[in-house]
Amino acid sequence: MITRHTHSGITWIDMESPARQELEDVITEFSIDARIEEEIISPTPYPLVVDTEKYVYLVLHFPTTDPHGGAKNQEIDFIVGKGFLVTCRYEVITTIHNLHKVFESEELLGITKRKPTTADLLERILRQMYAAITEEVEQFAKMLERIEEDIFSGRERETVRNISLVGRVLLRFDTTLKRHAEPLREFLSQLTAPAFFGSTFEEHVAHIEGEHDHAATVVSSYREVAAELRDTNDSLLSTAQNEIIQRLTIITFVAVPLTVITGVFGMSIAGIPFSNTEGGFWLLVGIMLVCVLALLGYFKWKRWI
């Protein structure tokens, strides 16, 4: 599917999973090299920048959460020339879809304040993409708050999966945004050259890089929070397990002398003390109780319990 917007001589063509013929028509219209066509027709697994005299080609992957859990990357290919911008993607991207609606409304109502340029259009798209990432990641703040409440409410075991899920998603976001840094810088540098937009594009560069850096900082900050909560949860789980082991050890240690006493007095041989004494059973129970209290007192004195 191809969506086209044209305003004041500036054309934006957005292609979503284009057919081969649709792609060839766009390639021919803007005199784009056939090698770029081969890159566009199938997904590219890594960021890429190709600079030519007439246009600059950029491939970026934008992270987003997966409805089925976890995160995934959505690829967008950009071809930027002086009077045109071509974007290509392989699935529905909500931010791009919303931008189309906004542009259609602006064109219909004629509310554009000034004559737009390709640089304005590119900045708007990239800033919206990075802003969408920031908004999406901000949702994890609420999840992290709930996780923190669960951790300190005695539900450490239940939060292990949630912490792992959040940490995995933030790791994907963080890794993907870090991979943007170098190709994005090179791409914007090429567009600042006199052959394209010149020094007037520097203000757009500052805005785009600022939005990228802000998104990367937010992701990194929440990753640190998630890592800290994971460490805290692990520490609490470890402490709880140690306490359980300590209690079991104490129970075992207390049971040993009782087992020895009952074993000795349970032997079927002559001369066992208290065997023929009236109330001998209760006397032995009293001895065992004294042993237990003595051991518990010792553990208390050592602050083991």
Consecutive 10-residue averages of pLDDT for the chain (305 residues): 77 84 83 80 84 87 82 87 86 81 68 70 89 88 83 77 84 90 90 84 89 91 86 75 73 75 69 68 77 77 71
**Spatial separation of the C-alpha atoms in residues 177 and 219, rounded to whole Å:** 9
**What is the per-residue pLDDT for 110?**
60
With b for 16 or more beta-carbon neighbours within 10 A and e for fewer, the 100-123 pattern comes to eeebeeeeeeeeeeeebbbbebbb
8: left (phi over 0), alpha (psi -120 to 50) or beta: left
Report which residue type is found at 278. E
pLDDT at 212: 92
Q: How is residue 169 written in tokens?
A: 């998603």
What token pair was written down for 127? 């800033």
Q: State the pLDDT at residue 46.
A: 86
Tokens found for residue 172? 């994907």
- Nearest CA-CA partner of 81 in 36, 16, 47, 43: 36
Tokens of 7: 């305003």
- Backbone φ and ψ for 167, nearest 5 degrees, come out as -60, -40
Q: State which fold the 246-301 domain adopts.
A: Methane Monooxygenase Hydroxylase; Chain G, domain 1 (1.20.58)
CATH topology of domain 2-239: Beta Polymerase; domain 2 (3.30.460)
Which ranges of the chain does DSSP label H, i.e. alpha helix? 20-29, 34-41, 94-109, 118-151, 156-191, 202-265, 280-301
Report whether 77 contacts 87 (CB < 8 A).
Answer: yes
> Which residue type sits at 271?
G
Where along the chain do its domains lie?
2-239, 246-301
Contact, 105 vs 186, CB < 8 A? Answer: no
